[in-house]
A and B are shown apart, each in its own frame.
Chain A
Amino acid sequence: MLDEKRLAILTDAAKYDVSCSSSGSTRSYKRGQIGNASFAGICHSFTQDGRCISLLKILLSNDCVYDCAYCMNRRSNSLPRATAAPEEICELVMAFYRRNYIEGLFLSSAIVKGPNHTMEMLFETVRKLRVDYKFNGYIHVKGIPSADKLLITRTGALADRMSFNIELPSEKSLKLLAPQKSKEAIIEPMKMLALDRYYLSPAKRRSDFLPAGQTTQMIIGASPESDAHILKLTEYMYRNYKLKRVYYSSYMPTNFNTTLLPTVAAPKLREHRLYQADWLLRFYGFTADEITDTDGNLAEEYDPKCAWALKNLHLFPVEVNSAPLSLLLRVPGIGVRSAFRIRSARKYAKLGFDDLKRMRVTLKRAKHFITCGGKFFGSENENEVKRLLIAAETDRYTQLSFLSGGDPAAESALTGEL
């Protein structure tokens, strides 16, 4: 059995990884096996920092031969090291899964000895779980850059999701801060898995190869790239590598002794705004160009949808009884759920302002951008609208204690909903 001490070390090393969700995979029950996966994802607990625990998020080892400047586990940092045997991880996963503590495993590792050795250990753990333990629950494996292609594909055939972390938003920063990694070593396996997934999945059936697809993660604020740059990169990866999700993780200075990195943490609000913008890209039909200025950052005072609407006031107000869904989705304050509610309810009768309230559509921000049966309830004055939007935003954040030391990204990483 894995002892508490090693568990603590291997967990501690994994905890800043933000991609914890277990969603996007449907594994149905198989006779003689234990486990399934639900498409929507299930949170099994919430830690005191407000983040969801869905998976056992753990490193096989934190004993790294690389020396990435931003990482606690880098070779030149002195801290306790530990390694777990594949068998020990399997035992823990099964025990936790049976008790309904977790939805599955998120397995990652530092580079032990070299990329191939590490990838082999990861593969062996997953193989053992699937074959020997007949585990049919959710498994997410972090891919190791520069590892053998065949090993990566074989792991992909057993896992629900894999992720190669892009780490930093530009090649230049990567070279500077993670000298042993290269852009190609990260991008090539992503491309390969996207193709594998395409060719190895029988037509029209849900994918058996990485059913939950690929994700990636990058560190925000350790290097100088702008939000516009980051979002364009994100958009590019969604389109070209068919990623399911891009995660952002705010840079936090730990005990680093380097002049390469800033000494202050990246503001949480920035990460939060990026998640909101990401949500707009994925679900609301926005493009990166629409929500950012050519090379700027996202507005801090209000969310990116409000910012976009304020720049495009000539499109508003829209009439809720006739506006197409795609336009409803662009109204600040109206989320996916509300937009769908409006679309289905207006088939029965013309909707007024009170009807929207009854349907639990939040109108605090939306009222400045819509009409109900021709009637307008918002403010006509642009500056007044701006002031009210900022006030609404501040309200929301004090309510959620975002600005009082909380972690806005915890919520937005969970839903990202806007």
Chain B
Amino acid sequence: MKIFFIQNNVEGLLSALFYSFVAKVVPDEVTDVEIYQQKIDDEITYIKTDAAQAERVQTALTRYGGYDIIRRLKNCMLSCDENATSTAFRYAYKTLFFKKDISGNLADPTVAQFVFTEQKVLTERHHIIGFLRFRESAGGVIYARFSPDNDITELVAPHFLKRLSGLPFVIHDIKRNKIAISDGFALKFDHTDLPAAFTPSDDEEAFANLWRRYYKEINIEERKNLKQQDRFMPRRYRKFMPETYERF
């Protein structure tokens, strides 16, 4: 199998596309060095990320594939699906090959795979935007922990920057040790190995309790339907929510 090893970001992907067209090599798989389990008969090409090449490919892609194609490729690459990078590569390759926007052609397996992979990422983003829970610290900064399936911190944080304008917050992906920090006006992304030292504000527990009470009270007991609850609010998200978890 022909494997391209790339740096796992969109420039890496674009550089791989450049190489592929210039060297006339079509890889079977495109992947990130860190996660790939090498097999004996693999033929590996290490792709060096090159900003100038990436930009040329980006221009071409945007011309043929529509203004949002780069954003969509990024979204797809944030997926936890192990083939996500290859999926994004194949979709971009096909767009360049046919020199046209193929996004509507869902009957094509390459397109379908790309669209549905991206959709899963965006669906999780939509979930998290609702389910994320902040706690207020004694210092006034609000802090949220979560552990999403896909690497969506960067897709989620801007929503809260807009919404909570002026209010400093931290969003912490504890699975990937990623954090988004806002001072109320701008976002910064970083990695951290440290568990957050968190001292809740005086009111924090009282408001969490009011919310728990509200949650209990608004439920209509006679119409219990746990299956439907599970379908709309997957259990794995609940340990970060005060209404479903006492110590979240």
Contacts and interface: CB of A to CB of B under 8 A. Distances in A.
Contacts of A252: 222
A15 B214 contact: no
Contact of A4 (B102, B104, B213, B218): B213
A360 interface: yes
Nearest to B207: A95
A29 interface: yes
Contacts of A315: none
Given A98-B136, A100-B134, A11 B217 contact: yes
A355 B112 CA distance: 10
B210 A92 contact: yes
A42 B231 CA distance: 16
Given A42-B129, A95-B207, A32 B224 contact: no
Q: How large is the interface on A (under 10, 10 to 19, 20 to 34, 35 or more residues)?
A: 35 or more
A134 B189 CA distance: 28
Interface in A336-373: 341, 344-345, 347-349, 351, 355-356, 358-360
Interface stretch (A108-116, A178-186, A398-406): A398-406
B174 interface: no
Interface in A1-54: 1-2, 4, 7-8, 11-12, 14-16, 28-29, 31-36, 42-54
Contacts of B226: 48, 50
B60 interface: no
Interface string B223-248: 11111110111000000010110000
Contact of B207 (A45, A51, A99): A99
B219 A49 contact: yes
Interface string B178-218: 00000000000000000000000001001111110111011
A410 interface: yes
B210 A2 contact: yes
A407 interface: yes
Given A49-B220, A50-B229, A410-B223, A101 B133 contact: yes
Nearest to A348: B105
A411 interface: yes
A96 B133 CA distance: 10
B163 interface: yes
Looking at B106, B107, B160, B162, the one whose CB has the most chain A CB atoms below 10 A away is B107
Nearest to B134: A99
A260 to B, nearest CB: 22
Nearest to A342: B106
B107 A351 contact: yes
A190 B78 CA distance: 47
Interface string A193-235: 0000000000000000000000000000000000000000000
A44 B225 contact: no
A46 B130 CA distance: 10
A349 B241 contact: no
A345 B228 contact: no
Contacts of A341: 106
A273 interface: no
A4 B106 contact: no
A57 interface: yes
B165 interface: yes
B223 A35 contact: no
Given A33-B165, A348-B108, A48 B214 contact: no
B162 A406 contact: no
A56 interface: yes
A405 B167 CA distance: 44
Contacts of B222: 252
Interface string B129-147: 1111111100000101000
A252 B220 CA distance: 12
B227 A7 contact: no
Contacts of B227: 50, 400-401, 406
A16 B106 contact: no
A49 B228 CA distance: 8
A48 B229 contact: yes
Contacts of B208: 99
B66 interface: no
B243 A45 contact: yes
22 contacts: A7-B217, A11-B213, A29-B163, A34-B164, A43-B233, A46-B233, A48-B224, A49-B220, A49-B223, A49-B224, A49-B229, A50-B227, A54-B130, A95-B207, A100-B132, A137-B163, A347-B105, A355-B107, A356-B107, A358-B106, A359-B107, A406-B228
Interface of B: 102, 104-109, 112, 116, 126, 129-136, 142, 144, 160, 162-167, 203, 206-211, 213-215, 217-229, 231-233, 241, 243-244
A-B pairs, top 4 by smallest CB distance, nearest first, are A50-B228, A344-B104, A406-B225, A355-B107
